[in-house]
Structure 1
Amino acid sequence: MTRAPAPVGRPARPVGSLTVWQGAALYVGAVLGTGVIALPALAVRAAGPASLLAWLGLVVLSVPLAATFAALGARYPDGGGVSTYVRHAFGARAAAVVGWCFYFAVPAGAPAAGMFAGAYVATALGGGRRTVLLTAAVLLVLVAVANGFGLTVSGRLQLALAVLLVALLLTAVVTALPHAHLRNLHPFAPHGRPAIGAAAALLVWSFAGWEAITHLAADFRRPERDLPRATAVAVAVVGVLYLAVAATSVLVLGPAAGTSDAPLAELLALGIGGTVHVLAAAAAVLLTLGTMNAYFAGAARLGAALGRDGALPAWLDRGGSVGEVPRRSLAVVTALSGLALAATAVTDVGPQPLVLLTTGSFVTVYTLGTAAAVRLLPRGSGAHRCALLALVAVAALLVMTGWYLLWPLVITASALCYLRRRRAAGPARDEQPQYVP
């Protein structure tokens, strides 16, 4: 795709540092993440072996969804990500809403992800809830520090994590498969067909992330070429690993797959033998670290873009240019994540409410993002057809989300109130984002 030249008198866009493989690793970390260590059991609990159909359906959905966001990222490489696309399609107010939904979803989802990993660490080392919370807090600090050093360090870290994670998951699957039995597929749908939809709604957490790396599109060396390639690699890796782990859990563990809180540890124990709790805890921590790292990077860049565009306070804009580190926005994400973790610790409610709040926000982001893609991408192109398919599928997920949409509605109202107060206080900044294509 030919990109328009930079306007006369304006310097060309700085060249980013992310490679195809680093970008693919960020994608793998953002999407694979904690879903593979926690949700196979929850999905089996909801729908039995029929939950495999929910996994398969969401893997298939990932293809047009990921392709849609990759096409948008290559066409509009800007730190605002989905917010930028929605702004071009529907204006400043809609962009502020989707930006807020993503930005304030990350501080809710990050502590939940950390607690999932903490449960594995507590199983291996003991300490119960205190170990769970301490692990989550340490992970928050680690990803904040990694991103504070900039995307070069963060991208390299993510690539190393992705290689280790793929190796660990393949080891669990390959070594456990000899213990698989087809009889574990019966009864296939013990809770009926409607339960498959319930499992799919639950598994949205596992597949959130295809939009996250679009905030880093401008940090690729050649976004129009490298972002689609990184996306294709990530879709293949994530799809194969999710289906492999989910299918192996059902075929090997049988009914016990729905009662285990650590299915990956169970697979490793059967495949390798002996005590593997420490290995499983290490895998859980690495998966979670990769997810949180990718989301913190994307959210920090988004916050700077929202500050630039007037959807958040302007002081967040500092460090938002390509090659810079948006440390102020990163500090806000980190502080809010710490507050969410502290609130969870005080109320003793566990990670599930945070998961549900995050899911509702991301489904809203997907809906607005794919709708923007339908309007922005060239009609008749493959990317436009992918956007249409993705919009239909995401609309179905939106219906299944149900009451959890109340949280993004609260965020929407807050964003609109902020814009109204800002407009009353001074001139509105409704112009298009000032990125250089």
Structure 2
Amino acid sequence: MSETRSAGQGGGRLTVLQGTALYVGAVLGTGVIALPALAAQVAGPASLVAWLGLVVVSAPLAAVFAALGARHPDAGGVSTYARLAFGERAAAVVGWCFYLAVPPGASAAALFAGAYVSGAVGGGGVTTAVTAVVLMAVVVVSNVVGLRVAGWLQLALAGLLVVVLVVAVTLALPHASTANLRPFAPHGWLAIGPAAALLVWSFAGWEAITHLAGEFRSPSRDLPRATGAAVVIVGVLYLLVAFSVIAVLGASAAHDEAPLGALMARGLGGGARTAAAVAAVLLTLGTMNAYVAGASKLGAALGRDGALPAWMSRGSLVGEVPRRSLAVVSCLAFATLVAVVASGGGTQPLVLLTTGSFVTVYAVGTAAALRLLPRGPARTAAWAALAAVLVLLVMSGRYLLWPLAVSCAALLYLRFRKRKPPAAVPVNASTSERSELLP
């Protein structure tokens, strides 16, 4: 079992502001530029109920992962919590589910932004695909040069993102009409469930930054502060944007691939679609930056702990750049992107496959919290979060087949691997100790 840094011990470079920005980028992300329209297609104005429900659920979920990250700041994140609570197999399952959810998720995010750019400058599918590739390359380069640069990039992106969204909503709300909220549930009240399953994409991310917990200067102090600030920012912005899209755009919101662009155009005029494309690119960069950084650290930790090949273990320690794991994530993401563009399959299946994996990670993570956290508010939050996640599991339906297949692959890897797990490396090991322990 790998050792984790004792609670509160620092050593990283991330500040509260940078951590808040990483959270805002990971959670707010591309959900705000695409999901209001997709949810409206499924449930109409009643999708606002799903938005509100998930905002409420996100508070205890975020609190649980912040508490776990503060007590066990390790690059393995939820995988580490699963190992401490349930053992090696659970850790491998969670690690693989998260790690292999990032490539399709990153591809979908890049294509969302590409649709905004093509809507602003033309070029159709070619512009969309080229934009997606460029965004992927920028994120990879950002993470190659190191987490410190990525953290400052994230802070700048998050600040610009919040300003753009506030301006868009402020200018568009005067055009809102209550008539656009009727009929409120055109597809029936039961449609709120499938809409909520789709919107899990918008609230995935509270677990992503746990892989970077050890990179904070003081995890026990800074991680809860960053989480609390991000919960408020994300919740308010999501509800404002979702309400504005439906109340201002009405039925047309369900058929617009760039609803934020249409919203800004209503307030600023037709030329606002260019500004919306810029906002979409910023949002997407923030999301992809946070997830690729977290997944790269996770892959290195899984290599360190024997759940992935040992050559991926380089970079699992605080301050190191996990370039080998980053290379694997990047290759898988580019391959997924090429496959989707070539097949014309669209982004919705990618979204649902990704959210099915994240819900699985949440289920194991909140269950682990019940065993690892002491009695008190955090344990109470874990019970509430677990109950909500179980409901989301039921709503995910057939898209749980993907994390099920990934889980089986992880267990098969553990069973048939031809080596023992490498020696666990303490996160505060010296340089000489690292060279002796890591391959």
Report the TM-score when normalising by structure 1: 0.95
C-alpha distance in 1 between matches for 2:21 and 2:5: 30
Q: In structure 2, what is the equivalent of residue 398 of structure 1?
A: 393
State the distance in 1 between where 2:356 and 2:172 align: 34
Letter in 1 for 2:284: T
Aligned position for 2:372: 376
Please point out which of 104, 110, 117 is paired with 2:113: 117
1:333 matched to which residue of 2?
Answer: 329
Structure 2 residue identity aligned to 1:383: A
Match of 1:255 in 2: 251
Counterpart residue type for residue 255 of structure 1: A
Which residue identity lines up with residue 412 of structure 2 in the other structure? C
2:279 counterpart letter in structure 1: A
Q: Deviations over 1:99-157 (max 9, x none)?
A: 00000110111111100000001111111111111111111110000011111100000
Report the Cα offset of residue 427 of structure 1: 3.1
Please identify, of 347-356 and 81-90, the stretch whose mean Cα deviation from structure 2 is larger: 347-356
CA distance in 1 between counterparts of 2:419 and 2:79 reads: 22
The residue type equivalent to 2:407 in the other structure is T
CA contact (8 A) 2:198 2:351 kept: no
Measure, in 1, the Cα distance between the counterparts of 2:340 and 2:194: 25
Q: Specify every segment of 5 or more residues in structure 2 that has no aligned partner in the other structure, as ranges.
A: 430-439
Deviation digits for residues 285-306 of structure 1, max 9, x if unmatched? 1100100000000000000100
Indicate the residue corresponding to 1:129 in structure 2: 125
Distance 2:70 2:250 in 1: 43
Determine the C-alpha separation between the residues in 2 that align with 1:137 and 1:165.
Answer: 21
- Describe the SS at the equivalent of 2:14: coil
User: In the TM superposition, what is the alpha-carbon distance from 1:434 to its structure 2 partner?
Assistant: 3.7
The reply on whether 1:33 has 2:33 as its aligned counterpart is no
CA distance in 2, matches of 1:432, 1:49: 51
Distance in 2 separating the partners of 1:13 and 1:44:
45
Local SS of the residue matching 2:29: coil
Equivalences for 1:29-428 in 2 at 5 Å?
29-379=25-375, 381-422=376-417, 425-428=418-421
What's the offset of the Cα at 1:428?
Answer: 4.6
Q: Which amino acid aligns with 1:266?
A: A
Structure 1 contact 165–287 (Cα < 8 Å) conserved: yes
Structure 2 CA distance for aligned equivalents of residues 219 and 428 of structure 1: 24
Q: Percent identity?
A: 66
How big is the alpha-carbon RMSD for the aligned residues of Structure 1 and Structure 2? 1.6
AA paired with 1:403?
R
Taking the aligned partners of 2:115 and 2:249, their CA distance within structure 1 comes to 20
User: Number of matched residues?
Assistant: 425
CA deviation digits over 1:26-52, x for unaligned, max 9?
Answer: 000001111101010111111111111
Shift of 1:343: 1.2
- Whether the 8 Å contact between 1:14 and 1:322 is mirrored in structure 2 is no
Moved more, 342-351 or 122-131: 342-351
User: Alpha carbons of 1:5 and 1:373: their partners in 2 closer, same or farther (altered >3 Å)?
Assistant: closer
- Displacement after TM superposition at 1:433 (Å): 6.9
**Preserved contact between residue 114 and residue 137 of structure 1 (Cα < 8 Å):** yes
Cα distance per residue 1:7-26 (max 9 Å; x no partner): xxxxx966100000100000
On the 8 A contact 1:87/1:432 being kept in 2, the answer is no
CA deviation map 1:260-279 (0-9, x unaligned): 22111111111112411211
Q: Is the 8 A contact 1:184 1:254 kept in 2?
A: yes
What residue identity is the alignment partner of 2:101? A
Preserved contact between residue 15 and residue 222 of structure 2 (Cα < 8 Å): yes
- List 4+ stretches of structure 1 deviating above 6 A: none
Q: Are the equivalent residues in 1 in contact too, given 2:172–2:267 (CA < 8 A)?
A: yes
What is the deviation of 1:186? 1.4
1: CA distance, partners of 2:179 / 2:343? 42
Contact (CA 8 Å) 1:14, 1:323: kept in 2 or not? no
Shift of 1:346: 2.0
Residues 13 and 436 in structure 1, CA contact (< 8 A), matched pair in contact too = no
SS at match of 1:188: coil
2:348 counterpart letter in structure 1: Q
Which letter maps to 1:409? L
Take 2:180 and 2:72, find their aligned partners in 1: how far apart are those partners? 48
Partner AA of 2:124 in structure 1: G
The amino acid across from 2:373 in the alignment is L
CA distance in 2, matches of 1:399, 1:433: 38
Please state whether the residue corresponding to 2:65 is helix, strand or coil.
helix
- Cα distance in 2, alignment partners of residues 62 and 415 from structure 1: 28
Q: Matched residues in 1 for 2:368 and 2:111: separation?
A: 34
